[in-house]
Amino acid sequence: MSIEQWIDFAKGPLFALTSMIMVLGLLRHIVIQVYELVAGKGRRLSAAPWRKILNEGLGWAIPIKQIMKGTPFFSSVSYLFHIGVIVVPVFLADHIVLWEKTLGFSLPSLPSGWADFLTIFTVACVLVLLGFRLFGDRQRAMSRLTDYVLLLLILLPFVTGFLASHSGMNPFPWETMMLVHLLSAELLFLVIPFTKLAHIVLFVFDRLSAVHWQLRPGAGDKVADALFGKEARV
Amino acid sequence: MDAKQIAIGSSTRLPAVEKTPFYHIEKPVTENRGDHFLRAFAAVLEFTDYKALLDSYCTSSAKCNRCAVSCPVFMVSGDPRDIPCYRTNILLDIYKRYFTIGGAIKARLSNGFELTEEVIDDMLEVFYRCTACRRCTQSCPMGVDHGLVTRLGRYILSLIGIVPKALQVSVREQLEGETHNTSKVPKDALLDTLGFLSEELEDMVGVKMEFPVDKSNRDYVFFCAVSDYLMEPDTLMGNAAVLYAAGDWDKWTIGTTNYDGINYGLFYSDWHLENIVKQLLAEVTRLRGKNILIGECGHASRSAHDFVPVFGGPSAQPVVSFIEYTLRCLKEGRIKLDPNIITERVTYHDPCNIARSGWIVDQPREILKSFVPDYVEMTPKGQDNYCCGGGGGLVSIDEIHDYRMRIGGKVKAEQLEKTKADIVVAPCANCKKQLKELVEYYKLPCRVMGLHDLILRAIEIPGGKSPAERKEEAALLEM
């Protein structure tokens, strides 16, 4: 197979397959969460303070107050990183063509100057976040291999995409760059549902702690019965 | 702010408190604790519904570390084990490894995480270094409730016998003992105390108030932390004074079968939480009371307010905090507080259990500002306020006093010192005990009082001595 054919393969069937796995994998999380909540909590769901949960959740959409309360630099970078990482892949002009082809609908595209700026900006954000993990005492204590690998994996499609679309700066053949761009993005698609990146959908469910405080009546006694028998003592 | 906070932490970095174990355990299990833990975990997963929460948290926890700078324990200790997300991830790792397919496959492929005796020891300590104040939950962009996970960890530990003896003994007396309360106060002693309080009040305000005991069909059945009957007479007299001045003296009662609002189940066990709530409800039902009135106690207020509806169903009696009640009386003009009595500088400490959720933040401030001319706020305040360092049951564990002073409560002590207040008001039995110990330990020129202790000094009692007269008499007595 020639490299052009590889690119076509990565753009066509492989893209469809990996994005399908990503979507299904994320859907699986949603289905499991909804099922566990409905089956587990049942009528207690209606007793949860939903308005408060919603208000608090929406408060994080533009989290200026939260950012000012702690780690303002890290939090700002992290917030801006999230904007870049959502906006660039979805609204880039070259990607819109892809949406049209595979999904059948179009979206307004980013002006190319903005796209370039946002891409570089996102890459810079990733590097700063990586710096925090490498050099911040607290973060390093918490970080595991996956946390670094995922950041690099996010970096890859951004860098390769940028180089592929700027031939003047690209030291490698366009085809190679394009192929690496496609494959790295697709690899990211594959790992999203199986790693912490699944917070793309799970963040909604993480915010439901007020629902989880609606404990199940009678459960404590059953646990004690199962472990210690009916004569369970404190 | 970030860098400064870390600077505080690192400049005062202290060696971890070395004690094996961290707290006294009644009958320590020594063998196969890992197996026991997993068996207990499995039982909890089978009968409760924590699974959804664990599934979501264990996949999505991003370990961004924003929680670290919000934790008053970590700020002082600088120990990575005190980072809320780190602590949470111990339990999540166990869940992932032993209760998910992904974890099982991963364990097949490589030598990953194992639940060893060291991990048990780690949990034993870190889950009780946390004061369960849930300040970190507010700083988590994902909303991960580290307090809830820590509590779950403590719950499972308690099922294998790892629980501070101080808490276990109290809960046993409350649920299975004769007195049905945590301080082992028998009914006769309660009646004696109420008689004594009544006499004290008569001396002080010049009006006889017989405490209503076991009256049926009253609007309010009163529960406080039972230790208040032994240690906080001024708070209770303040409560009584408000009820009397508001004209509600024949509308409330204290039950004698159960008069303890304390619920340590909130800190470590679903089993105990539910049964203690039910015991409280049984007393209210016996007396055919219409509302549950909770005295000045953070966790008693929260465990009743949040869990009476959960375990008692929608028809259960409404829970009213005494602070809410007093503010209502004040707004309706049923009580009057003399603004010329309190001349000291006063600040307010928010007990985590009532403030973190935003439930009781403004009410006490509104009361205080109405009669305290020199009122100052501490920073941060309200929902963001720091824990006293004795939350989550820690204050009841005497053997960790050193930890609570040097690490858990240090940030609070510094915050308190900056206010230059003469009096810190803390409407919570646990906070009061911890703050009193902190004030003594750090030699702060500050007095710790309940909200109603202060109200008692300034409230106008119909037919009684005026607050100004009482103040003069008190001054004479002190001379």
pLDDT band at B20 (very low <50, low <70, confident <90, very high): low
Query: Under 8 Å CB-to-CB from A23, ≥6 apart: which residues?
Result: none
Q: Could you tell me which of B373, B330, B363, B360 has the C-alpha nearest to residue B241?
A: B330
Residue B388 burial class via C-beta count within 10 angstroms: exposed 0-12, middle 13-18, buried 19 and up: buried
pLDDT band at B124 (very low <50, low <70, confident <90, very high): very high
Closest CA of chain A from B165, distance in Å:
11
Which residues from B are below 8 Å from A198, CB to CB?
59-60
B169 pLDDT higher than 70: yes
Structure tokens at A233: 């003592």
Give the C-alpha separation, B12 to B368, whole Å: 35
Give the nearest chain B residue to A78 (CA atoms): B64
Residue B315 burial class via C-beta count within 10 angstroms: exposed 0-12, middle 13-18, buried 19 and up: exposed
- For chain B, the average pLDDT equals 93
pLDDT band at B318 (very low <50, low <70, confident <90, very high): very high
Closest CA of chain A from B470, distance in Å:
44
Radius of gyration of chain A (CA): 22
Give the start-to-end residue ranges of the domains of chain B.
2-163, 178-331, 346-478
Query: What letter would DSSP give residue B405?
Result: I
Q: What is the mean pLDDT of residues A213-221?
A: 95
Tell whether A83 is within 8 A of chain B (Cβ). Answer: no
Distances from the Cα of B435 to the Cα of B396, B425, B448, B455, angstroms: 13, 10, 7, 19
pLDDT band at B11 (very low <50, low <70, confident <90, very high): very low
Highest mean pLDDT among A117-131, A165-179, B11-25: A117-131
Give the nearest chain A residue to B3 (CA atoms): A71
B425 pLDDT higher than 70: yes
Sheet arrangement for strand B423-425: B375-376, B346-348, B423-425, B447-449
Q: What is the mean pLDDT of residues B20-47?
A: 92
Q: What is the pLDDT of residues A47-58, one digit of tens each?
A: 899 999 999 999
Closest CA of chain B from A105, distance in Å:
30
Structure tokens at A50: 């939903």
Confidence (pLDDT) at B9:
38
Contact A21, A193 (CB under 8 A): yes
Residue A190's H or E segment, with its range, is helix A174-191
Q: Per 3-state DSSP, what percentage of chain B is helix, strand, and coil (rounded to 5)?
A: 55, 5, 35
B3 pLDDT higher than 80: no
Contact A126, A155 (CB under 8 A): yes
Q: Which of residues 259-288 of B touch A (CB under 8 A)?
A: 269-275
Closest CA of chain B from A5, distance in Å:
35
Amino acid found at B16 = A
Structure tokens at B353: 């259990």
Give the C-alpha separation, A79 to A74, whole Å: 9
Residue among A70, A196, A222 whose CB faces B69 most closely: A70
Q: What is the pLDDT of residues B183-230, one digit of tens each?
A: 999 999 999 999 999 999 999 999 999 999 999 999 999 999 999 999
Q: Which phi and psi angles does B340 have, rounded to 5°?
A: -100, 5
Give the nearest chain B residue to A191 (CA atoms): B59
Q: What is the mean pLDDT of residues B353-379?
A: 97
Tell whether B109 is within 8 A of chain A (Cβ). Answer: no
Give the C-alpha separation, B307 to B335, whole Å: 31
Bridge partners (DSSP) listed for residue B319: B292
CB spacing of A142 vs B86 below 8 angstroms: yes
pLDDT band at A106 (very low <50, low <70, confident <90, very high): confident
Confidence (pLDDT) at B14:
44
Angle among Cα B431, B434, B436 to the nearest 5 degrees reads 105
Residue among A195, A213, A227 whose CB faces B159 most closely: A227
SS3 B84: helix
Q: Which of residues 162-201 of B touch A (CB under 8 A)?
A: 168, 171-172, 175-176
CATH entry 1.10.1060 includes domain B2-163: yes
Q: Which of A206, A208, A231 to mutate to test the interface with B (most CBs of B within 10 A)?
A: A206
Q: What is the pLDDT of residues B436-476, one digit of tens each?
A: 999 999 999 999 999 999 999 999 999 999 999 999 999 99
Fold of B178-331: Rossmann fold (3.40.50)
